[in-house]
Chain A
Amino acid sequence: MDSGVALLTIFILSIFVGFEVVSKVSTVLHTPLMSGANAIHGIVLVGAILVTGSADNPLTIALGLIAIVLATINLVGGFVVTDRMLEMFKAKKPAKPSSDEEAKK
């Protein structure tokens, strides 16, 4: 298969996977899901490193370094802030079943 066509195939199939994985999400999780997806596209850092790694004039190197800083902020900040949101959800999760169990006992 031609490599361009292969990439196009991957692209189209990924669209369907993307639709499929997030169908039927409760409103409660909209914000963390958006934030988590936001973090995932920070993987553009890989692209930023690749272009900077092969750049050899001052302009492209400078632009590349800016891209790396921006992408790192997106990637790291995104995952950390999502984890903080989900931490809040977790806090009450153990409390709920344990109190239920106590009530039963």
Chain B
Amino acid sequence: MTSLLASAEPTSTPVWAQLIDLFVAVCFVLALKGLSGPKTARNGNLLGAFGALVAVVVLFFSTPGMKNVPLILAAILIGLIVAFPIARRVKMTSMPQLVALFNGVGGGAAALVSIIEFLTAGESESKGILAATVFTVIVGSVSFTGSILTFLKLQEAITTRPIVIPGGQYITSLIGIGTLAAGVALVISPTNGLLAVLIVLSALLGILLVLPVGGADVPIIISLLNAFTGLSVAASGYVLGNVLLIVAGTLVGASGTLLTREMAKAMGRPLTNTMFGAFTATAVSAKVGGGEDRPVKSAGPEDVAIMLGYANKVIIVPGYGLAVAQAQHTIRELVDLLTAKGIEVDYAIHPVAGRMPGHMNVLLAEANVPYEQLKEMDEINPEFASTDVVMVVGANDVVNPAAKSDPSAPIYGMPILDVSDAQQVVFLKRSMRPGFAGIENELLFDPKTTLLFGDAKDTLTKVVSAVKNM
């Protein structure tokens, strides 16, 4: 037992530094705790950043005989120069893919740490350490390639639809079994050749796992890969015998798993469906093209202004398209105008509106929309029946009745906003293109639906001036 679980060479870290690591671990726990409440979230995040800073600075003073210090400092500086401007300047709409990217490089770093430790100490490691090394390499590499692929999907550098390779599930299973076999072999006979095989297979596995995930399931995958990276960091901590890495990594792994489950639940999809749903949904892509020539009712901005101006109750359903057009300020102007006329206006926020749970709240908060006007799905759904006009701005999948009526749709089972209960529905859309999930929306062809084509910001500006002139 002792030889199985014994960690790497006992760390020569002085006691005071170990106590500081304990302090940092507490910072991380309190940071996560803080991030779970709206009032404490910002301070929680700052506390986490402070803890990380302390841990890194202390490391340089507590590690006797550290080599390559100038190179290490230069590498940190490069990381800072790359990360800071991107994180500072990224548009709030592109935030999800940035989180995916940051997560991926973290997973890559964890895998590299274990790889280096293996190359240095290799054959002399105990079986327990080797198993932890294998775990870090597999999970870290899966997280790295999977996250990079997710990043590319969200960036729309490659298609956002599920990519289904014929026989994909067999290939993925084979690679998965191969990865495990290589991992077991590496524990039994640790050689650099086997390590290389393991790295390649794990990287491939990450790609194969994420390829068939599409549409609204992507945010859940980001969260899952986030938890994966946490676990691989924890395992790398075990390899190095570093308590702080074990605590921080495990905290993220555990909380990330719980968060992933919460998100999946918010979308009414068991996690297994998210990961494997695309394998069975091949029939859908064939259906997509069909309906494009069917008649729809479209109108001009003035008509929409009249509909809104004479309504008693209006609900706005904002989606990602609103954010892309940067129309959140214009929509607020319109809502302010309507409210001034004595019309009751609310925003209906679907849990996954935008590209991540809570994404839309962030975007609307940026436009200073009062918090109390934002209604969550369960709260607003019963109100659609008594609503005169629902205006859907740049959203599609979250109001698609196929989620309720069509078991073959990839979004089937996802709770939606029941906008079809309202008297009239106005869709502001750029084109007839389907939403992120790539499926047709029957509601667009409904007689009570009016379409207003164009860039959301342009058309909304026109609607605003038309309402002003009424």
Contact = CB atoms under 8 A, between A and B. Distances in A.
Interface of A: 2-5, 7-8, 10-11, 14-19, 21-56, 59-61, 63-93, 95-96
A18 B225 CA distance: 16
Contacts of A27: 266, 351, 357-358, 376
A27 B126 CA distance: 44
Contacts of B251: 14, 17-18, 21, 37, 40
A28 B361 CA distance: 7
The dominant DSSP class at the A interface is helix
Nearest to A12: B250
Contacts of A73: 79, 82-83, 102, 105
A70 B438 CA distance: 34
Given A4-B126, A44-B113, A79-B52, 17 more contacts: A3-B241, A7-B243, A14-B254, A18-B251, A25-B259, A43-B249, A44-B236, A47-B240, A60-B120, A65-B74, A81-B90, A82-B35, A83-B49, A85-B95, A85-B362, A89-B365, A91-B365
Contacts of A37: 32, 35, 226, 230, 251-252, 255-256, 259
B283 interface: no
B48 interface: yes
Contacts of A69: 75-76, 78-79, 82
A82 B31 CA distance: 12
Contact of B252 (A18, A56, A63, A68): A18
Interface in B361-399: 361-363, 365-366, 368-372, 376
Given A22-B36, A44-B110, A71-B79, A56 B67 contact: yes
Nearest to A85: B362
Given A37-B230, A70-B79, A60 B55 contact: no
Contacts of B241: 3, 7
Contacts of B307: none
A25 B262 contact: yes
Interface in B66-92: 66-69, 71-72, 74-76, 78-80, 82-84, 86-88, 90, 92
B49 A79 contact: yes
Contacts of A15: 250, 253-254
A79 B7 contact: no
B426 interface: no
Given A11-B234, A63-B116, A88 B92 contact: yes
Given A14-B251, A39-B45, A83-B42, A30 B263 contact: yes
Contacts of B249: 41, 43-44
B302 interface: no
Contact of A30 (B71, B109, B358, B363): B358
A5 to B, nearest CB: 6
Contact of B244 (A35, A43, A64): A43
A31 B1 CA distance: 42
B106 interface: yes
Contact of B35 (A29, A46, A81): A29
Most chain B beta carbons < 10 A, residue from A15, A60, A71, A73: A73
Contact of B112 (A53, A66, A95): A66
A74 B63 contact: no
Contact of A77 (B7, B102, B109): B102
B112 A48 contact: yes
A68 B376 CA distance: 41
A63 B32 contact: no
B115 interface: yes
B377 to A, nearest CB: 9
Given A40-B28, A40-B251, A41-B233, A25 B36 contact: yes
